[in-house]
Amino acid sequence: MKFTANDIARLIEGKLDGDPNVVVNKVSKIDEGEPGSVSFLANPKYTPFIYDSEASIVIVNTDFVPEKSVKPTLIKVKDAYSAFARLLEVYNNIKHSKTGISEKADIAHSASIGKDVFVGPFVSIGENTTIGENTKIYANTVIGDNVNIGDNCLVFSNVNIYSDCIIGSKVTLHAGIVIGSDGFGFAPQQDSNFKKVAQIGNVIIEDQVEIGANTTIDRATMGSTIIRKGVKLDNLIQVAHNAEIDENTVIAALTGISGSAKVGKNCMIGGQVGIVGHLQIADEVRIAAQAGVSSSIKEKGFTALGSPAIEYNNYKKSYVHFKNLQNLVDRIKVLEKKLEERGQ
């Protein structure tokens, strides 16, 4: 994709200062700007870089007045950062604007495919499954029977959606995700075998959710595992059967949410966190990376750290002493010796 300075100025409603016909096909950081790229200058700290920048176009704030000559074409806007972000979005939308259904896909006759959908090669779509308008499904993704996917979704390659799951609109699913695999439910038998408990629920993913690569979300034993509107999950996360994650909660990579745990709204959960099954986590809770939450957190806005997790500052303070435990032991020894010398 190539754009002229003129194209971009029109798109972000900016004022041109320099060659309107210069062409770019990529973006760059102001301090790494190379010919053929568009960059931006928002933070005054980076101003010195603009005088040496090789970028062909730089988006700047309207109040930017160069102190010396500048090579790139400038585009002046009210808020350079927002304008640049808008530009990236447009770029991204163009990138995912393919439509059409590959002849190499395998689509059940009973499936219903919306308008302007893209279906890549080697995609399987099962019986009675519905794909909404303008949704894009990349190569080798497998969608089971009776699945419902909304409008304007991006489903990348090699995603697996088991039967009966429901995906909202504007959902992004990155490569390798598994949605709706069986929950880890086994009933112990007397001979120390385990008998599988059939997992016949599903997964519901609401609108505007984004899920990272190779994350797994198990179907409910009965009922639904639910990821509410606006939730963002990073890569390699495990969400177990019947868990529920409420609106706009954000979870970093390699975290595990155990079965039937309920996580509140607007929580921020770090990487490699573990949450034990059946717990309740209140809204706006923050859980630091690697914490192991082993009891419910009922206080809104609570911040947790440690394994088992306790209040953040409490852990931090105790950890300072932990690092100095040798010193503490030495002091106790001195005290013991002194008392002994005094003849106890």
Q: Does 295 bind a copy of itself (CB under 8 A)?
A: no
DSSP state, 220?
Answer: P
Q: What is the layout of strands, in order, in the sheet containing 37-41?
A: 15-17, 73-77, 57-61, 37-41, 26-27
Residue 29 interacts with a copy of itself (CB under 8 A): yes or no: yes
- 298-317 residues near a copy of itself, rule: CB under 8 A: 307-308, 310, 314-315, 317
Applying CB under 8 A, does 197 fall inside the site for a copy of itself? Answer: yes
Buried b vs exposed e over 184-219: b needs ≥16 C-beta within 10 Å?
bbeeeeeeeeeeeeebebbbbbbbbbbbbbbbbbbb
Residue closer to a copy of itself (CB basis): 23 or 289: 289
Measured from the CB atom, is 15 or 331 closer to a copy of itself?
A: 331
**Which CB atom, from 70 or from 233, has the smaller least distance to a copy of itself?**
233
| Residue 237 identity | I
Nearest to a copy of itself of 168, 212 (CB atom): 212
Work out how close the CB of 21 gets to a copy of itself at its nearest, in angstroms, rounded to a whole number. Answer: 23
Q: Does 214 help bind a copy of itself (rule: CB under 8 A)?
A: yes
Question: DSSP per residue over 150-181, as a string?
Answer: -SS-EE-TT-EE-TT-EE-SS-EE-TT-EEEE
Is 321 among the residues known to form the active site? Answer: no
214, 173 contact by CB (below 8 A): no
Stretch 129-148: interaction string toward a copy of itself, x if CB under 8 A: ---------xxx-x------
Rounded least distance, CB 301 to a copy of itself, Å? 13
If residue 198 lies in a helix (H) or strand (E), which one and from where to where?
none
Which tokens is 95 given?
A: 């990138």
Q: Compute the least distance from the CB of residue 296 to a copy of itself, in Å.
A: 16
Closest approach of Cβ 321 to a copy of itself, in Å?
4
Give 85's contacts (C-beta < 8 A, 6+ positions apart). none
For helices 325-341 and 312-323, angle between their N-to-C axes, nearest 10 degrees: 60
Residue numbers 254-293 binding a copy of itself by CB under 8 A: 254, 256, 258, 265-266, 271-272, 274, 276, 289-290, 292
Residue 1 is a binding residue for a copy of itself (CB under 8 A): no
CA-to-CA distance for 221 and 159, rounded, in angstroms?
A: 22
CB of 119 to a copy of itself, least distance (A): 12
CA angle 313, 309, 273 (to 5 degrees): 115
Residues between 56 and 115 with contacts to a copy of itself, criterion CB under 8 A: 85, 88-89, 91-92, 95, 102, 104, 106
